[in-house]
């Protein structure tokens, strides 16, 4: 959902901005690219205040759509037979009016490839969402498995490299 950044989220991003400023002294960031959802754009603007680089939004970085489940608490949907498949696996299990984890993964990978073409040989700071990131990272060679809530906290940073020659992504935890 397009929810606002909470006060705790603002504090997390301000702390992260300090880490990124220190990191980017030796490894400069060229552009900031963010999901258009408000909590991501707010986060990106906080980061931009410290990193002072151009900022743009990119639709492919939106959070995964949970369709008819959107806005429900886990307790309200946990008895659905597809609950575990949707939240703890990365597969083609559909959500009515939403997108499967595989669809979300493909959307993010396509978006990152487009960003690579738009900003060749540039280092991008990409601001996106936990579930979309989980879907994407699970498909990589050193992929992850589990729930986004279990895998990483808000304000986590990953370095992702893309080789256009091999059409291959790799990542490491920052």
Question: pLDDT tens across 12-60, in order?
Answer: 999 999 999 988 888 899 999 999 999 999 999 999 999 999 999 999 9
Distance CA 101, CA 91 (A): 6
Task: Report residue 168's pLDDT band, with 50, 70 and 90 as the boundaries.
Answer: very high
62: nearest Cα among 155, 129, 149, 141: 129
Res 24: pLDDT: 87
Is the predicted pLDDT of residue 116 greater than 90, yes or no? Answer: yes
33: nearest Cα among 2, 66, 3, 62: 62
Catalogue all structural domains in the chain, each as residue range(s) with its CATH number: 13-18+27-173 (3.40.50.1240)
Is the predicted pLDDT of residue 147 greater than 70, yes or no? Answer: no
DSSP state at residue 123: -
Burial of 144 (0-12, 13-18, 19+ CB in 10 A): buried
Percent residues over pLDDT 90 in the chain: 71
Count CA atoms closer than 13 A to 123's CA, side-chain side: 13
Which pTM value belongs to this model?
Answer: 0.91
């Amino acid at each position: 959902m397009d929810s606002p950044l909470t006060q705790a989220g603002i504090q997390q991003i301000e702390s992260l901005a300090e880490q990124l400023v220190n990191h980017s002294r030796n490894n400069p960031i060229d552009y900031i690219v963010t999901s258009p959802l408000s909590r991501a754009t707010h986060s990106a603007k906080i980061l931009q205040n410290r990193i002072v680089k151009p900022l743009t939004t990119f639709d492919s970085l939106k959070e995964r759509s949970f369709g008819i489940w959107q806005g429900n608490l886990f307790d309200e949907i946990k008895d659905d037979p597809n609950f575990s498949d949707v939240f703890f696996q990365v597969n083609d299990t559909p959500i009515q009016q939403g997108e499967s984890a595989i669809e979300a993964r493909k959307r993010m990978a396509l978006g990152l490839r487009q960003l690579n073409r738009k900003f060749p040989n540039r280092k991008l700071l990409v601001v996106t969402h936990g579930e979309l990131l989980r879907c994407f990272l699970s498909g990589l060679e050193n992929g992850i498995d589990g729930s986004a809530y279990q895998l990483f906290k808000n304000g986590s940073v990953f370095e992702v490299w893309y080789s256009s020659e091999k059409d291959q992504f790799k990542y490491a935890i920052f």
